[in-house]
Structure 1
Amino acid sequence: MSLCSVLLLSSCRSSDATSPSPASETQTNLTSPHSKQTPPKVMTPDWGIAATLIAMGYPPVAMGDKPFYREWVGKPLIPATTYDVGTRYQPNPEMFSQLDLDVVIDNSFYKHLQPMYGDLPIHSIELTSSSKIATWEDFIEPTLALGRAIDQPQAAQTYLDESKNQIIQAGQTFHKRYPHVKKLAVVQFADTNNLRMFSYNSLFQPALDAMGLELIAFDDGNQWGFMPIMLGDLAQLDEDTCLVVVEPIGDLLKVELEASLVWQRLGYSFDANPNAANKNRCLTLLPATWNNSGVASMNVLADRLMNATLVGNTDL
């Protein structure tokens, strides 16, 4: 399943039935410890922008695909006060028209929606890297631009500074727990035979770099930072590379993988016994970590790796 399929996944599903109705509930203004100024009321169709705003302390008033954010992004958690306007790629115009908004923040993927916004100011911000090898510096200006878009430039700078320190500290903790693990390959399963491997232009690269770890990939990534691979391609990984599998991955898929002769020959197992005499290859399963949320995703990735349980051989 391609990332485009994921992005359009919920276009045929209903919006969050538990979200409050904009017409029947008064929206309270959000304030931040960084400024006494009331921030503008923001709507964004994009998960990455929503995640970064939440992490900075200024959640959007409304966003798209709120229920599926929980499955594919997870953290930071969405406040209950944030309205769900339907699918990201095609929000509900009637619901949108009832919102009291000051600004829309999107990116180029949602350009087709801009006529729906009428006279509202629009800021398009890309929380991705255009470099062949992504660096921390690639994400500084987009994050600062997001801060300027909500009239909170200092909050954005503070968030960047604190995030970099947290990611470095997470790396230090990881190395204390697993001193021999230096190289990680990060993948996500579409099915038992098709995966996406995150590459050097993804945000996993600068996050792992700040943690003092090395990202391993087979080739350059596409515009979303990954390359499609087959299950058997994992045989190209060196024995000293630990495989990081990013959820969601269903229980049935795990069972099918454990029964797969290819998976068995590769030497991986989700149920590996860390005390077994003949250990399987190093593997860990991480909760959903979105690849398009900029620094917010880097923070989540670092925190989850810091607390991850690696199974198999960690004496690489």
Structure 2
Amino acid sequence: MAYGEDRAVEVDHLLAAAMCNPDRASRSRLIATRLGAHHFFEQDAYTMVADAAAEIDERTRDVPLTESATAALDRLGYWMKRTGDRNADSAHLLLVCLEAGASDKEGQRALRDMGITVRDVVREAMSVRHQVSAPDRQSALRGPIVSERRPERPAPYAFENPGRANAGPRSMRSFAWRSQMTGAAHINSHVQSHLIRLHLWSLIVAWLLSISLLAATWYAAVTVTAWSALWPAGQLRRLQAPLAVRLGLDVVLVMASVVLGIPWWLPVLAVANRAVDIVEGRLALLQVRGDTADPSVSEKDLRSDRRANIRARNFYVELKLKRKLASE
């Protein structure tokens, strides 16, 4: 591609090669599909990369790399360790490109619109490890590719629906929550399995408490004082505000409840709801840390990923309304 444009290889070329690899079963293409990024590429992009790959000869091999492209490729070893792989493949190429960022404004805007984050890619890279085609398969993983028939699949993928997984997200919720929704397909750790179960139960308890709080608020607002309706405003979820903000607002509302005559059982129920919310948030954070092999992930990082996912959702909706979604 760089040879055809008569310029040195840049990060943009590496990113295009990873996202539009001619091999549908390449690891980077499978990751893009799982994240729904394939909806945002026109067929021309795949054709351009395929044509460039078919015309490789000695002249194109001599095209120099820019400093940014060289620096990006130097990070392949780091991402191999992060994903637990022995060989670099197209998934690691995608990761180094995301880390470096596109070199021009158009490329930066495309990445923002797709909402792809490094943590999303790391998670999916480990999830599709057994499905990739031979060129991307790790030397230590020569087992079968995931079979269409459930009894023949490797143990970690026994309950996965390949048709749904390979189609990628198609709903607004799937895009908006993909960074917070951990997948169980690639989990082979008992600790992570127990975390998933605990997180599920905490979510159920949180939903029940939220419903109870809304019902109690309505009852108190109708029978005692309309000021009781202040409490739902304080129940911001962990994805919308930092913990310090939520706890500070709760303290203010407790003090206001004493002054305004709000029933005591309403603040007690709200505090219980907040406690479960905090526990659920910590469990979700531990899951993401395990999924992404990064113990330094914080709730701030999750909120940042959430904003990126919302951009992807909005871009998906925009293209869907304009009927411009790619079919690849």
Q: Same fold (TM over 0.5)?
A: no
Whose strand fraction is larger, Structure 1's or Structure 2's?
Answer: 1
Q: What is the TM-score when the length of structure 1 is the normalising length?
A: 0.27
Q: What is the TM-score when the length of structure 2 is the normalising length?
A: 0.26
